């Protein structure tokens, strides 16, 4: 087996989508003959850990998981981009995969040119990257290559529409206020309650991960969990506001600890999903649950739905979005199935290509 170091291991967060993504990176890499021997946690700057830098120099390849990080030329975006020049100078192949690319500056673009391969998740990121002079390919988000929803498909359908929060707070606030006027909604966050990644086999987990505080071998520290809201706290935050009882329910549900099984089951069995979260839309796709999506903090949602041929289900007017959930046609479902099949083919081909570099 070739060895790899993974930079931006987002599975150290509780977020369900991040945990599925990293488990897919490890699984697909293993299938292509690559063992992810070590990783660097999201929010940990790889340049600050001498032992991690040494592991990168000794690896056959370095894989950077871009996810939702490479935008707006942030400090994190620049740290990920800097992997390319480091690896080029060290004589180690490097790849940027599963990435957004939006509103970056010339410094980020120049650094990214040093990667041997760049794979972005959707066509709008590809357009921006190509405008910056980067050679990129599009492979859909790696959650769509997974089978995590298979066990939940065909579950009895409830009458409830699931509404998620949103990284775009303004759009998210409007969606939640509209949801509070309805009797047929429940509210869902995507943070899993398990201390470890429930989608990752222990035998395939990296031997050690670097966090902000240093190297961790063996069991990883559990990610921070949401603060569970008491009935009294929910009451205090809802008192004298419109739809007080429904608002209390929303506050309680958004803070409730949920296992990955509970989250996936709620998405699969709901009548529909109003998805402010990118990975809520991905999981709805995998389960065949009707959904409408709302814009996030980048164009990732729009790009994905355009690529899937279902762009009409992206709408930032919540009243229209709720109606669209009941307007799925067979042509939409056919387009979606084709997109998922493409995601699975392309993800395998991507890792076969990565293995050829190592």
Asked whether the predicted pLDDT for residue 86 surpasses 70, the reply is yes
Asked whether the predicted pLDDT for residue 224 surpasses 80, the reply is no
Model pLDDT, residue 25: 98
pTM (predicted TM-score): 0.95
CATH superfamily of 2-145+342-357: Response regulator (3.40.50.2300)
Q: What is the CATH number of domain 150-196+225-340?
A: 3.40.50
Calculate the average pLDDT of the chain: 95
Model pLDDT, residue 212: 87
Asked whether the predicted pLDDT for residue 91 surpasses 70, the reply is yes
Which one-letter DSSP state was computed for residue 118?
Answer: E
Torsion of Cα atoms, 302 then 101 then 166 then 327, to 10°: 10
Model pLDDT, residue 146: 97
Asked whether the predicted pLDDT for residue 62 surpasses 80, the reply is yes
Stretch 202-227: mean pLDDT: 82
Name residues whose C-beta falls within 8 Å of residue 36's C-beta, 6 or more positions apart in sequence.
4, 5, 6, 25, 26, 29, 30, 63, 204, 206
Question: Do the first three CATH levels of 2-145+342-357 and 150-196+225-340 match, i.e. the same topology?
Answer: yes
Please give the share of the chain, as a percent, with pLDDT higher than 70: 99
Stretch 330-351: mean pLDDT: 98
Asked whether the predicted pLDDT for residue 317 surpasses 90, the reply is yes
- Domain locations along the chain: 2-145+342-357, 150-196+225-340
Stretch 175-200: mean pLDDT: 96
Burial class of residue 75 (count of CB atoms within 10 Å of its CB; 0-12, 13-18, 19+): exposed
Confidence bin at 344 (pLDDT 50/70/90): very high
β pairing state of 137-138 and 291-293 = unpaired
Phi-psi region of 27 (alpha: psi -120 to 50; beta: other; left: phi over 0): alpha
Stretch 257-264: mean pLDDT: 97
Stretch 299-306: mean pLDDT: 97
């Amino acid at each position: 087996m070739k060895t790899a170091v993974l930079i931006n291991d987002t599975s150290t967060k509780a977020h369900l989508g991040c945990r599925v993504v990293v488990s897919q990176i490890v699984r697909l890499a293993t299938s292509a003959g690559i063992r992810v021997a070590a990783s660097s946690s999201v929010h940990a700057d790889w340049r600050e850990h001498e032992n991690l830098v040494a592991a990168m120099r000794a690896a056959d390849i370095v894989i950077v998981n871009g996810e939702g990080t490479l935008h707006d030329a942030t400090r994190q975006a620049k740290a990920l981009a800097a992997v390319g020049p480091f690896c080029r100078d060290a004589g180690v192949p490097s790849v940027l995969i599963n990435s957004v690319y939006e509103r970056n500056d010339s410094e980020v673009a120049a650094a990214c040119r040093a990667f041997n391969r760049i794979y972005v998740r959707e066509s709008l990121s590809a357009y921006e990257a190509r405008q910056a002079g980067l050679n990129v390919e599009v492979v859909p988000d790696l959650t769509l290559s997974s089978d995590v929803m298979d066990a939940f498909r065909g579950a009895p359908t409830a009458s409830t529409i699931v509404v998620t929060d949103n990284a775009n707070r303004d759009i998210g606030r409007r969606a939640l206020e509209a949801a509070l006027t309805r009797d047929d909604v429940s509210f869902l966050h995507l943070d899993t309650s398990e201390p470890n990644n429930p989608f990752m086999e222990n035998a395939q987990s990296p031997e050690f991960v670097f966090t902000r505080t240093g190297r961790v071998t063996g069991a990883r520290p559990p990610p921070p969990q949401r603060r569970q809201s008491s009935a009294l706290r929910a009451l205090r935050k809802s008192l004298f506001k419109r739809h007080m009882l429904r608002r209390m329910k929303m506050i309680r549900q958004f803070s409730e600890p949920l296992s990955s099984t509970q989250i996936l089951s709620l998405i699969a069995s709901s009548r529909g999903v109003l998805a402010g979260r990118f990975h809520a839309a991905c999981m709805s796709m995998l389960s065949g649950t009707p959904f409408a999506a709302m814009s996030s903090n980048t164009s990732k949602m729009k790009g994905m739905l355009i690529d899937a041929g279902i762009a009409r289900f992206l709408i930032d007017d919540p009243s229209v979005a709720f109606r669209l959930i009941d307007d799925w046609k067979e042509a939409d479902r056919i387009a979606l199935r084709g997109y998922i099949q493409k995601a699975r083919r392309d993800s395998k081909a991507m890792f076969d290509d990565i293995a050829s570099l190592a």
